[in-house]
Chains A and B, each alone.
Chain A
């Protein structure tokens, strides 16, 4: 059974800092991995999708990496801003499955 863990559970940083969020998964037989952002009481916004054959994806100030063999992914946020404050979730889709398996998220607070 696939299990996804995110560390840290919460993170508080001053504006301008670069930061790294971590995601680990127990079964390396994945099809892809997706990073999402969730604002309080809202739905999920997709940030980046990495296919199993890829090592990283970039979008603006965000960079996500994937090391499938070690079961890890990182989300790097450059020059953090108060508007980045949200919960960040990673989710994996296992090979042969349609569903996403989510971690419990990292709650990020960026202070001005």
Chain B
């Protein structure tokens, strides 16, 4: 197992377009998290899944954002009608069920909205 993977690594889009990012967690990690990080800041929590259930959402996750984890494995984060303020690094993390509380992060997807 090579860790959490994210795709794409970089995305450049024009304002108003929709974008979708994918996260593949570490095998058998049933907890999955999305965070957003802007330049010079620490990551900010967006949403959390336990298996396929989305159990927690931040106020940062406006109506234009939607996340899914259909079979409790990979997850997607979609942003509709992108705005320049959405430009950021989108990070995914996963955690195993019980043995450890450590979150493992992926390499991130860098979004630039022109």
Contact = CB atoms under 8 A, between A and B. Distances in A.
A36 B105 contact: yes
Contact of B100 (A31, A49, A101): A49
B72 to A, nearest CB: 16
Contacts of B33: 98-100
B104 A102 contact: no
B111 to A, nearest CB: 13
A98 B6 CA distance: 21
Contacts of B105: 36, 43-46
Interface residues of A, number: 24
A61 interface: no
A99 B48 CA distance: 8
Contacts of A32: 101
A101 B107 contact: no
A4 B103 CA distance: 18
Residue with the highest number of chain B CB atoms closer than 10 Å, among A42, A49, A102, A103: A102
Nearest to A102: B42
Interface residues of B, number: 27
Nearest to B44: A102
B85 interface: no
Interface in B26-69: 31, 33, 35, 40-45, 48, 55-56, 58
26 contacts: A31-B101, A34-B102, A34-B103, A42-B107, A42-B108, A43-B4, A43-B91, A43-B106, A43-B108, A44-B105, A46-B103, A46-B104, A51-B101, A89-B42, A91-B42, A93-B101, A98-B55, A99-B48, A99-B56, A99-B58, A100-B33, A100-B35, A101-B45, A102-B44, A103-B42, A104-B41
Interface of A: 4, 31-32, 34, 36, 41-46, 49, 51, 89, 91, 93, 98-105
